[in-house]
């Protein structure tokens, strides 16, 4: 029996082209193995062969995604693979996104399976997990030795057509199947377990809307210290921290002491998920700085915290958002802030 054909997608770093300075290189393909594919060779030897490697600079892939993906797809297609391997990307954000984009393109256009490796909190995992069997990895490349055999095992299972129930980041898809017992019988069985305090497994974990119980009201707002926080992307003109327009990997902290009113010259939005024109004309529309300063002057609010915090909610993984929120809250507490005006878009 001939071996299954695999194409491996990696970035410019793993292809040996270079690091951040080479992140703009355009897609290329090479026959056979390049870089980490070598580690897979032994593990897959009896069933599959990496017939080609496609690589691209992470910046190029993210900044020219449409064109880059189309080129990468054609390069992958040219090898007529049975499966595509991507990464492992660990916690490299742009590499993770690139692996995810490739997985999506392959899944939707070539209809062949994709196996990858990624750290669970990599934004690429959240956005693209449904398109591949992404084996969870550590957050750093030092986990390569562990990732390779796990990814290779997943490749073998997928190629063998085995039913795969675990060992990958759940795709977040609901799939129908016929159960052994009818629904009413399953309900009665589940009820008996629940009554008896035995372990039971719900068939549909209810979606969790992260509802936050409101804090008790501030008793005297004229003495309270208020801060401004936003996921609408309000940043100083020029976006000094380069907060991403989508899938933000960070938040910014900016001084507002010298600003009484936003103008087209001193503020803008970094958010790529809505029409930025009106925010860029007057950022007070997203972060109500002018009004709050007036209220402070008039004694209606005790004081305004000297800094505002901003990130971009657009396409940002919940895990990232939670991480930002915890860090921001910690700083606000340390600075004795009593209340926050939190704006979104």
Taking the mean position of all CA atoms in its chain, how far away is CA 169? Answer: 13
- Short-list 228, 224, 230, CA closest to 255: 228
Q: For residues 159 and 289, give the distance between their C-alpha atoms in angstroms, rounded to a whole number.
A: 57
Binder among 1, 179, 212, 217 for other proteins (CB under 8 A): 179
Q: Does 291 bind other proteins (CB under 8 A)?
A: no
Looking at 45, 140, 160, 192, which residue binds other proteins (CB under 8 A)? 192
Q: Is 253 in the site for other proteins (CB under 8 A)?
A: no
Q: Which of 38, 170, 278, 335 binds other proteins (CB under 8 A)?
A: 170
Closest approach of other proteins to the CB of residue 213, in Å? 13
**Which residue of 1, 46, 199, 207 would you call a contact of other proteins, by CB under 8 A?**
207
Residue 59: Cβ within 10 Å count: 17
Rounded to the nearest 10 degrees, how much is the dihedral formed by the CA atoms of 264, 268, 269, 270?
A: 140
Query: Which residues in 90-149 contact other proteins (CB under 8 A)?
Result: 130
Interface residue with other proteins among 66, 142, 161, 177 (CB under 8 A) is: 177
To which residue do tokens 């003495």 refer?
223
- Residue closer to other proteins, measured from CB, 190 or 341: 190
Q: How far is C-alpha 338 from the chain's CA centre?
A: 31
User: For tokens 């899938």, what's the residue?
Assistant: 247
State whether residue 251 is helix, strand or coil: coil
Part in contact with other proteins (CB under 8 A); list of ranges 16-24, 35-43, 119-127, 205-213: 205-213
- Could you give the CA distance from residue 307 to residue 291 in angstroms, rounded to a whole number? 16
Residue 120 or 282: the one with the smaller Cβ distance to other proteins is 120
Contacts to other proteins by CB under 8 A: 130, 170-188, 190-192, 194-195, 200, 202-209
């Amino acid at each position: 029996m001939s071996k299954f054909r695999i194409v491996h997608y990696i970035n410019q770093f793993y292809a040996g082209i270079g690091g951040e300075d080479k992140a703009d290189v355009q897609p290329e393909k090479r026959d056979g193995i390049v870089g980490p594919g070598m580690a897979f060779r032994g593990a897959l030897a009896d069933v599959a062969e990496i017939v080609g490697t496609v690589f691209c600079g992470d910046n190029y892939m993210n900044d020219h995604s449409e064109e880059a993906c189309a080129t990468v797809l054609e390069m992958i297609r040219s090898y007529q693979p049975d499966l595509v391997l991507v990464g492992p990307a660990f916690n490299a954000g742009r590499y993770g996104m690139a692996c995810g984009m490739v997985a999506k393109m392959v899944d939707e256009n070539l209809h062949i399976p994709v196996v990858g490796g990624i750290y669970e909190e990599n934004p690429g995992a959240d956005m693209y997990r449904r398109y591949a069997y992404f084996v969870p990895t550590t957050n750093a490349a030092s986990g390569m030795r562990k990732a390779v055999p796990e990814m290779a095992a997943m490749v073998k299972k997928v190629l063998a057509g085995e039913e795969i129930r675990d060992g990958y980041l759940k795709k977040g898809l609901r799939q129908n199947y016929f159960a052994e017992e009818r629904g009413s019988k399953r309900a009665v069985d589940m009820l008996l377990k629940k009554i008896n305090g035995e372990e039971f497994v719900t068939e549909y974990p209810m979606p969790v809307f992260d509802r936050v119980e409101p804090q008790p009201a501030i008793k005297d707002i004229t003495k309270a210290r208020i801060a401004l926080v936003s996921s609408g992307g309000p940043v100083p003109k020029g976006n000094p921290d380069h907060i991403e327009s989508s899938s933000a990997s960070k938040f910014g902290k900016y001084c507002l002491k010298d600003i009484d009113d936003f103008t087209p010259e001193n503020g803008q939005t970094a958010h790529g998920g809505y029409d930025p024109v009106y925010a860029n004309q007057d950022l007070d529309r997203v972060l109500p700085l002018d009004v709050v300063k007036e209220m402070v002057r008039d004694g209606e609010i005790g004081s305004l915290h000297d800094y505002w915090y901003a990130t971009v909610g657009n396409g940002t993984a919940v895990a990232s958002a939670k991480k930002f929120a915890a860090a921001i809250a910690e700083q606000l507490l340390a600075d004795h802030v009593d209340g926050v005006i939190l704006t979104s878009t």
